[in-house]
Amino acid sequence: MPEAAAPSIEIKGLTKRFGGFFALNELDMEVAAGHIHALIGPNGAGKTTFFNLLTGVLAADEGAILFEGRPLDEGRPSRRTARGIARTFQNIRLFPHLTALETVMIGEHCRAYASIWKALGSAVLRRPFDEAAEERRMRENAMELLAFLGLAAHANERASNLPYGEQRKLEIARALATQPRLLLLDEPAAGLNPNETAALDETITRIRDRGVTIVLIEHDMNLVMGISDRVTVLNFGTKIAEGTPGEVQAHPSVLEAYLGEGVEP
């Protein structure tokens, strides 16, 4: 297990309200670089809201986020992706008409073309029948990523035609194509069978070994407790426990949140 260096993200007093409802309330949290950090909690605890705030899909009401020591003040999600944060979606959000290969190449676009004018230039100004050099490189990288996730055989299939489990993997491949240093996985095991979940366990570890810090939202406790370096437990937008998987599992308020009051550990 890699030892903690500088934190990947530091969060102070992060708050998000929807009307009068606190989706997140004064959350303080730190994710160490190189860790697999799980975020668990009952439905509605604010886990996905947390991802939406980190990626800029939603704007926080209060609080500060530091990413690798610098404030994460870019407003738009695409700018944060450029900073090195990528995510998957709880409800799979692939581009249904693109093939698996094309889907991954979308993730690479922001690294291959710094500006839209470069992208336009590369699209229009090249010799006939001559593929742009960037395009070739993107295709090779994308094939590599598909192979990494075991999707190479599906490269030319439409994303919407892939089996559910493969779609989840394709989401991970697309996120990795943006070359993130922080990867947010939103329930990657949801809807997978036990074999697929076991394979996912290994996949996540291998991604971590590529030097990517991972924050994992997951309900599958076997998966969470097996691979996480640290676990944070949220309930009603508030952090109720944090620690190693062992510490968290024994924590009284965690048991209370999950099983109800008055249960003896």
Which spans of this chain sit near other proteins (rule: CB under 8 A)? 55, 57, 76-78, 81-82, 86-87, 89, 93-98, 102, 105-107, 109-113, 116, 119-120, 122-124, 126, 132, 134-135, 138, 174-175, 177-178
* Minimum distance from residue 24 beta carbon to other proteins (Å): 19
Rounded CA gap, 252 and 156, in Å? 50
Q: At CA 39, angle to CA 17 and CA 263, rounded to 5? A: 95
For residue 32, give both structure tokens.
């160490």
Asked if 29 contacts 74 with a C-beta cutoff of 8 angstroms, the reply is no
* Minimum distance from residue 233 beta carbon to other proteins (Å): 26
Of 115 and 195, which has the nearer Cβ to other proteins?
115
Of 110 and 198, which has the nearer Cβ to other proteins?
110
Strand 62-67 and strand 182-186: pairing?
unpaired
Of 20 and 117, which has the nearer Cβ to other proteins?
117
Asked if 39 contacts 232 with a C-beta cutoff of 8 angstroms, the reply is yes
* Minimum distance from residue 242 beta carbon to other proteins (Å): 27
* Minimum distance from residue 128 beta carbon to other proteins (Å): 9
Q: What is the CA radius of gyration of the chain?
A: 19
Q: State the DSSP string of 178-238.
A: T--SEEEEESTTTT--HHHHHHHHHHHHHHHHTT-EEEEE-S-HHHHHHH-SEEEEEETTE
Of 66 and 110, which has the nearer Cβ to other proteins?
110
* Minimum distance from residue 106 beta carbon to other proteins (Å): 5
Residue with tokens 């010799």: 127
Of 133 and 263, which has the nearer Cβ to other proteins?
133
Of 184 and 241, which has the nearer Cβ to other proteins?
184
Of 111 and 181, which has the nearer Cβ to other proteins?
111
Helix (H) / strand (E) containing 40: strand 36-40
* Minimum distance from residue 149 beta carbon to other proteins (Å): 16
Could you report how far apart the first and last alpha carbons of the chain are, in Å?
29
Sign of CA dihedral 200, 202, 205, 211: negative
* Minimum distance from residue 8 beta carbon to other proteins (Å): 18
Rounded CA gap, 147 and 92, in Å? 20
